[in-house]
Amino acid sequence: MNSIEFKQLILNANYYTKYEPILYKDSLEIYGYEALSKFDINNDVISTEDIFKKLHHNNKLFFELEKRNKQLQVENFDFKSKLFLNFDADIFVTCEQQQFWESFLLEHKTNLVVEITENGSDDETSATIMKNFSLWLKKKSIDTALDDFAQDGSMFSFFMMNNSKYIKIDKSFIKQINSNENYIHYLNGILKTIKLNGQYSIIEGVESKYDYDMIKSLDCDFVQGYYFDTLVTIV
């Protein structure tokens, strides 16, 4: 498939968003929602992660796609609670991109949280792009969340952690604790540090009652995962 065919395939794909709830850990009241995107390409549902891996080498197409996606995610949200939007810093590098996102984000910044995601690369250029994006968001007083903390393959940055209002603990932590309970002490230390820093913690990947029962004793602020989809009404 050539680049033109790939572009048309992506831009014409059926697109939909699921709003996954983020809840207070103890009361299970809804705090906000994360917008999760899917694409239906030739009757095959594909996650954004699979597509974005290819788009990192096509910045213009990546920007066009994400501009459309984010506009739809905002237009279809009622803003009765916080909306968490995933942003890859690679779509914030040119003057055109920066001007568009400044207008877009500032219009909704009271109710938006920008989740800064990684593209899977830990090279110096990617780290610098993420740092610059984080600095810009902080300067504009836009709340941010550090996504996928402790995910396999992700890079750890004190700078990114210190500049985020929310720290999202990756689902890999729950899986590790389920196989080795000693890791719960490591997680307790991370959660304590987050709280001492005046930040908020979100544990992702809660997929069963067993998972939820396991983390009830932890001093985290919010939880997220497929288990809660059956407990709340999705917007």
State the CATH number of the domain containing residue 137: 3.20.20.450
Residue 132: C-alpha distances to residues 109, 178, 207 (Å):
18, 37, 34
Question: pLDDT per residue over 99-145, tens digit each?
Answer: 999 999 999 899 999 999 875 455 677 788 899 999 999 999 999 99
CB atoms closer than 10 angstroms to residue 86? 22
What gap in Å lies between CA 225 and CA 89, rounded to an integer? Answer: 25
- Domain assignment present for 38: yes
- Domain assignment present for 4: no
Residues in CB range of 41: below 8 A, 6 or more apart: 9, 10, 13, 14
Question: pLDDT per residue over 148-190, tens digit each?
Answer: 888 877 777 889 999 999 999 999 999 999 899 999 999 999 9
Q: Among 68-72, 76-80, 101-105, 151-155, which is the least confidently predicted range?
A: 151-155
- Domain assignment present for 8: no
- Domain assignment present for 110: yes
Residue 225 DSSP code: S
- Domain assignment present for 10: no
Domains in the chain: how many in total? 1
What are the two backbone dihedrals, phi and then psi, of residue 211, each rounded to the nearest 5 degrees? -60, -45
- Domain assignment present for 2: no
pTM for this one? Answer: 0.88
3-state secondary structure of 84: strand
pLDDT of res. 234: 44
Domain hosting residue 212, numbered range: 15-229
What gap in Å lies between CA 78 and CA 233, rounded to an integer? Answer: 13
